[in-house]
Structure 1
Amino acid sequence: MRKIVQEYHPIVWTLLAGTVFARGASFAAMPFLALYLSKTTDISPILIGITIGIGPLTGTVGGFVGGHLSDRYGRKIVMLSTIFVWASVFIGFALSSHVIAFMLLNALNGLCRSFFEPTSQALMSDVTPKDRRLKVFAMRYTAINIGAAVGPLLGAYLALVSANLTFIITGSLYFVYGLVLLLLLNKYETKNVNEGKAVVTIKAAFTVIRKDVSLRYFLLGGILVNIGYSQIESSLPQHLESIILDGVILYSVLLSINAVTVVILQIPLSKWVEKWKIMHVMMLGAILFTAGFFGFALFTNWTGLIVAMIVITIGEIFLFPSGSVFIDRIAPEELRGTYFGAAQLRSIGHSTGPIFGGWVLSQFNGHVLFLIIGCVVASSIVFYHYGNARYEKSLIERPVVSV
């Protein structure tokens, strides 16, 4: 155990532990925000939908800015300022009563997430040797899923006790997380990768990213995968209700299986493929995603649908952490945070996917939808392949941008 702990920087372990507690607290609070608004305010369902949706929207556009600021001014200042604002946002949810306040707070929530997450990933890369980064990102993804598995159960219990209490506890945990990071980042001074260098402006950084063909292919592939993955939250429960008597119960079982499978298999599977080429791991993940969605289209019984979810989950284990490693590899060192921030644009698929899935469901049925989704996800393999081919062909071919 001591040897394992010593393999990674203390900051890595702190970020992993913080991810479990912070994500668990967030998953305890945010899934119940719509219910909280409907019970404690007179806000209309349309305004509730807008309020919930504004967070992912600001998060999509904010990732690039947050990542760039971390490159320009250092990871420490961006992470610490963001985490304390984030803590205040959750306390604000508990104290607010007006729709405008909730909209602004959730917009800030999305911005904080988009600032903190790329910066924390970039910091993990900064303090971890290249050959261990896949394992670090795999452990981070496991930590997220532990929080996702425990958080909603905690949130359901706290919601019965006091709706406000959930947000207060979440804000308090984020505040404690911030204090721990403050102490640790003061103790272990991390090197600013841009120290002593001329740092590009945000306009120049955007130009670099706009001209990076490998990144564009990666983002297109990621958007297609997220269009598929978003169906698990939006269209899958509706499909199960239409084909199985206890569809809601099965859906709950599938979500639990997804979280538990990630927690159990993430580390051993990541260790198994750590010597593989990253693109091969990503393509295997996309293939498994495709097979799983075809399973949702074809099976109409519990056993088949559970197997399909396990296949998708294993694909998720391969694809998502390796995507972070791919970003780390194509990013110039001085723009690592900016690239991780730009990678947030993949969530466009998570925003548009439910709309597309809802339209197909209204016109056809879930069987047709998941056959289409399987094909959509399969097409991401083409983009991943060309993105990697471009990267391998010209590792040095990045546009030179005047500062």
Structure 2
Amino acid sequence: MYWLKWDLNLKIRLIGDSLFNMLFWMYFPFMTLYFSGVFGKSVASMLMAVPPLVGIFANLLGGFLSDRYGRRPPMLAGYLIQSLMFGLFAMSSNHWLDYFAYIGIGLGGSIFSPASSAMVADVTAEKDRRLVFATFVTGRNIGAVFGPALGSIFFIHHRSELLWTCTVVTLMYFLIILWKIRETLPHRPQALSKPGTISQLLKEQFTNYGVIFKDKAFAIYIAAGILVTVAFMQLDMYLATYVKEYVPPQSLLAFAHWTYSLSSTDIFGWMLGINGLLFVVGVLPVTKLFEHTSDRNVFIISSVLFGLGIFLIGLTTHVWLLFLFIIIMTIGEISRSPVTESFVSKYAPVHARGQYMGASNLQYSLGRFLAPMTVLLSSWLAPTFVFGIIFLCTLLSAALYIVLFRILPQNQVNKQENA
């Protein structure tokens, strides 16, 4: 499916999402450092645990609203909230107000996310969804690669200007969605579209999500996703600790009397760079490589490759082997990225697609919440055992995917749009 043949919704969204993610990565990596500087490390660590929890409920709310009222309302609400919060952050001279604005920015993004994913699925044929989602992943990761480098300049030295830029960009994107993006919500039974009181809507939301979480197959999918997310998050957690504490400075290249050496911190920076670069240039080729591979096999291959790569890292301190194993890890990571949203879009009933997208995001929120346990375990266990536990998480994830696809009704996986 060529980009020029895409639905206008997708073209606008790809450009807008990619631009916003560039700005996102220019401020997000520095927020913990910023709040640690103004509140202290202990208080900041507790404060930074709140936004992911807020995000869990906002994701569920965004998914519910996107199925109840359409995709555009939560998308518009999400970007309007973000624009207002960026403006508040830019004008603020109070650190607690800064923190409130930061939570508000995350809240808006979480409300937007499930409706956004559901809209992509609405306007894309099932056979093209992996490639389309892969393209969106590529756009997001361009920002993840270049954003922090730009943020080290703009957030540190020109924070107000950066925040005002984010305010203007999100407001413009809000207006473009309002004027140019059409509604894509599939036809719903009229009874599901009737307005209700706030209490009725809350009751309906809890009832709907209660049904989703009682879905055995989907619960297994979430559990598998939590385990593999715990492993994915180690790139920024235990892996950083391991490289800095156990990997010695060493020569990367040597020729005659000339050598190019890297410190432990440099080696970790190179590993992050390889991971980010492969995400940008590798998502589309890897997606094409696995184009005719079943979702089941992609999930299993992804879990095993990532787990194997990170376990092998724990067996060596040689810089070139570390680079090789980070490549294996990253191939495992990027192979599943487009498949997750594609799978949910196929599995979910059409009238509940947004809610399933919102519920699916729980695997990332809960996985991020549990991931720091490895750093705690490293106080008592040797690196080989910690990496072994991470590998075990990915193997258990692969096992759960095998169970999932054994109990999954075939007709539900291949659900037609009129289901």
Normalized against structure 2, the TM-score is what? 0.88
**Equivalence for 1:156:** 152
Which amino acid letter does the alignment assign opposite residue 237 of structure 2?
S
Structure 1 residues 136 and 393, CA, compared in 2 at 3 Å: closer, same or farther? closer
Q: Is the 8 A contact 2:119 2:184 kept in 1?
A: no
Q: Is the 8 A contact 1:51 1:102 kept in 2?
A: no
**Equivalence for 2:19:** 21
Cα distance, 1:176 vs. partner?
Answer: 2.1
**Equivalence for 1:217:** 220
Q: Is the 8 A contact 1:216 1:387 kept in 2?
A: no
Q: Is the 8 A contact 2:58 2:110 kept in 1?
A: yes
Which amino acid letter does the alignment assign opposite residue 215 of structure 2?
D
Q: Structure 1, residues 197-245: CA drift from partner, whole Å, max 9, x if none?
A: 3329213311220221111011000000111111111111111011123
Q: Structure 1, residues 48-83: CA drift from partner, whole Å, max 9, x if none?
A: 223322212211232111101110010111101110
**Equivalence for 1:350:** 368
**Equivalence for 1:88:** 84
Structure 1 residues 103 and 164, CA, compared in 2 at 3 Å: closer, same or farther? same
Query: What is the Cα-based RMSD across aligned positions, in Å?
Result: 2.0
SS, match of residue 199 in structure 1:
helix
Q: Is the 8 A contact 2:231 2:371 kept in 1?
A: yes
The 2-side partners of 1:92 and 1:364 are apart by 45
Q: Which runs of 5+ in 2 are unaligned?
A: 194-203, 250-262
Which amino acid letter does the alignment assign opposite residue 79 of structure 1?
M
The 2-side partners of 1:136 and 1:160 are apart by 35
Structure 1 residues 388 and 109, CA, compared in 2 at 3 Å: closer, same or farther? farther
The 1-side partners of 2:275 and 2:82 are apart by 28
Higher normalized contact order (CA 8 Å, seq sep 6+, divided by chain length): 1
**Equivalence for 2:242:** 239
User: Given the alignment, which residue of 367, 373, 383 partners 2:400?
Assistant: 383
**Equivalence for 1:317:** 334
Q: Structure 1, residues 268-317: CA drift from partner, whole Å, max 9, x if none?
A: 11112112211111111111111111122112111111111111111111
**Equivalence for 2:358:** 341
The 2-side partners of 1:272 and 1:252 are apart by 28
The 1-side partners of 2:105 and 2:401 are apart by 31
Q: Is the 8 A contact 2:86 2:167 kept in 1?
A: yes
User: Given the alignment, which residue of 103, 108, 111 partners 1:112?
Assistant: 108
Normalized against structure 1, the TM-score is what? 0.91
**Equivalence for 2:258:** none
Structure 1 residues 71 and 182, CA, compared in 2 at 3 Å: closer, same or farther? same
The 1-side partners of 2:50 and 2:106 are apart by 8
Cα distance, 1:106 vs. partner?
Answer: 2.8
The 1-side partners of 2:360 and 2:41 are apart by 31
Which amino acid letter does the alignment assign opposite residue 380 of structure 1?
S
Q: Is the 8 A contact 1:72 1:194 kept in 2?
A: no
**Equivalence for 1:284:** 301
**Equivalence for 1:401:** none
Choose 1 or 2 for highest CA Rg: 2
The 2-side partners of 1:250 and 1:192 are apart by 47
Cα distance, 1:23 vs. partner?
Answer: 0.8
Q: Going by fraction, where is helix more abundant, 1 or 2?
A: 1
Q: Which runs of 5+ in 1 are unaligned?
A: 399-403
Q: Is the 8 A contact 1:71 1:194 kept in 2?
A: no
Which amino acid letter does the alignment assign opposite residue 71 of structure 2?
R
Q: Is the 8 A contact 2:274 2:327 kept in 1?
A: yes
The 1-side partners of 2:17 and 2:117 are apart by 11
User: Given the alignment, which residue of 348, 373, 390 partners 2:390?
Assistant: 373
SS, match of residue 300 in structure 1:
coil
**Equivalence for 1:51:** 47
SS, match of residue 48 in structure 2:
helix
Q: Is the 8 A contact 2:71 2:184 kept in 1?
A: no
Identity, % of aligned pairs? 26
Moved over 6 A (4+): none
The 1-side partners of 2:52 and 2:334 are apart by 23
Which amino acid letter does the alignment assign opposite residue 366 of structure 1?
P
**Equivalence for 1:204:** 207
The 2-side partners of 1:98 and 1:46 are apart by 19
SS, match of residue 13 in structure 2:
helix
The 2-side partners of 1:156 and 1:52 are apart by 20
1:124 is the counterpart of 2:142: no
Which amino acid letter does the alignment assign opposite residue 28 of structure 2?
M
User: Given the alignment, which residue of 28, 33, 36 partners 2:34?
Assistant: 36
Q: How many residues align?
A: 390
The 2-side partners of 1:27 and 1:174 are apart by 14
**Equivalence for 1:165:** 161
Which amino acid letter does the alignment assign opposite residue 300 of structure 1?
T
The 1-side partners of 2:300 and 2:270 are apart by 27
